[in-house]
Amino acid sequence: MKQAVRDQLGRIVGVALAATVAWAWFWRPPFSWTFGVLVVVGTAGAAIADGRYALRRIASVIPVLVGVSFVVFALMASLPGDPAINILGPAATADQIAIVRTELGLDEPFFNRYGNWLGGVLTGDLGSSIVLREDIADGISRSMTPTLQIMAYSVVLALAFAIPLGIWAGYRQGSKTDATINNAMLGFLATPNFVLAVMLVLFLSIGGLSVAGNEIGFRVLPAARYVPLGEDVVLHFKHMLLPSLALAMGQAAVFMRLLRSDMIATLRLPFIDLARSKGLPTRRILWRHALRPSSFTLLTVVGLTVGLLIGGALIVEFIFTIPGVGAYIFLGVTQRDFIAVQGGVLVISTLYIVVLTMSDFLYLALDPRLRGREIGARG
């Protein structure tokens, strides 16, 4: 009897807590994205695997997130320098500093401060920036938008290059086509993305080199500035193309080489022989039979790449003057705006973990042999 009541109580408290968090997060941009992605991932996971497994997998993310928040908070708290001095300037008196410290809650013990901050986070409040005097959740979601856009566009572009080329190079292993694709991709792999970014700008947007009064290059794409998607769709993509391309080519090289080597291994398997003996066209064998079982490694690396890019591609964003999340955090660090940095790092690591969870569910979608069996976190 008692046990049953305790079970019910736990469930009620759990649901109430989840409802509070869900309600608080639903309206705030950086949280609502995370929340939305988790819901989508969870639904998909439940559809592919069994629902209880999906729920368990998502629940297992929670302690990780709490751990991450603690590490982030502890790191920020242990940074040298006093934010109060930063706000007041070097001429401030000890009394003034003490007042500001009390206002910011810096006097309280470490765990109280952590508890206050975590409580705010759970209800959708990341605090407000000391330096910019603005709500941090707003700031992060504003700077996160272009970063996530560049991330998505560059990964899609990279896959659009890498998948057909990887399939073809793997199928034609050892041929001239294979060598050509490999060498070209090796070139992109060896070029740092900021070098590629500068070259793209040089040859596609500012007219290239001038030789004896003749331009060797084009002025077809804008070099810099960020245009929000909601403002002008065409202009948005025109501005995003070069930075996305600069990031995509290096990724495409990695993706293509991974897919190529897995394709080579898959194409040697007996089921490919059987598929051939059924009289299927090569195209169908490559895309329908060989691609999916060859894409597990690719999925792992795409997941990691997406995770890394959530943190912003600082240099490329800087070259194209895109106000991304990297720039936001960089500003926070230089200004000792620890609350902003804390919030930014927390949102980024949360999204990273959500993305890795998503790639775990994608494994289930790709490989039915894993379904109904426990899979460990990968990557």
Partner 1 sequence: MTDTSMTGFAGADEQPLLDVADLRTTFHTAVGPLVAVDGVDWSLRPGARLGVVGESGSGKSVMSRSIMRLLPKSRVTSTGSVLFDGIDMMSLGRRELLDMWGPQLAMVFQDPLGSLNPVMKIGKQVGEGLRVHRDLSARAARAAALDLLEEVGIPEPHRRIDEYPHQLSGGMRQRIVIAIALACSPRLLIADEPTTALDVTVQAQILDLLETQRAERDMSLVLITHDLGVVAGRTDEVIVMYAGRIVERAPTATLFGNMRMPYTEALFRSIPKVTDDSHARLEIIGGQPPRMTDLPTGCKFAPRCKYAQELCVAEEPALIEAPAAADSNDGGARRRGTWRDDDLDDDDNDGGAPAGAHLYRCFYPVGTPEAAEAFERNVASGRVSEAGVVIRAS
Name which of 53 and 338 has its Cβ closer to partner 1.
53
Nearest to 379 by CA among 313, 280, 307: 307
Name which of 102 and 180 has its Cβ closer to partner 1.
180
CB of 82 to partner 1, least distance (A): 58
User: Does the protein bind partner 1 through residue 62 (CB under 8 A)?
Assistant: no
CB of 292 to partner 1, least distance (A): 5
Q: Which amino acid is at 244?
A: S
- Neighbouring C-beta atoms of residue 208, cutoff 10 Å: 17
Judged by CB under 8 A, which stretch of 55-63, 155-163, 223-231, 365-373 contacts partner 1?
A: 365-373
Reduced 3-state DSSP string for 267-320: HCCHHHHHHHHCCCCHHHHHHHHHCHHHCHHHHHHHHHHHHHHHCCCHHHHHHC
Q: Do 218 and 122 contact (CB within 8 A), yes or no?
A: no
Name which of 289 and 336 has its Cβ closer to partner 1.
289
Residues numbered 256 to 285 that lie near partner 1 (CB under 8 A) are: 269-271, 273-281, 284
Judged by CB under 8 A, which stretch of 61-69, 161-169, 205-213, 287-295 contacts partner 1?
A: 287-295
What is the spatial distance between Cα 240 and Cα 288, in angstroms, rounded to a whole number?
32
User: Does the protein bind partner 1 through residue 293 (CB under 8 A)?
Assistant: yes
CB of 281 to partner 1, least distance (A): 6
Q: Collect all residues with Cβ–Cβ distance below 8 Å to 45 and sequence separation of at least 6.
A: 53, 54, 57, 58, 361, 364
Taking residues 125 to 164 in sequence order and writing x for each that binds partner 1 by CB under 8 A, - otherwise, the string is ----------------------------------------
Taking residues 307 to 346 in sequence order and writing x for each that binds partner 1 by CB under 8 A, - otherwise, the string is ----------------------------------------
User: Does the protein bind partner 1 through residue 361 (CB under 8 A)?
Assistant: no
Residues numbered 172 to 211 that lie near partner 1 (CB under 8 A) are: 174
What is the spatial distance between Cα 172 and Cα 164, in angstroms, rounded to a whole number?
12
**What three-state secondary structure class fits 358?**
helix
Nearest to 315 by CA among 170, 194, 176: 194
Residues that bind partner 1 (CB under 8 A): 174, 269-271, 273-281, 284, 288-289, 292-293, 366-369
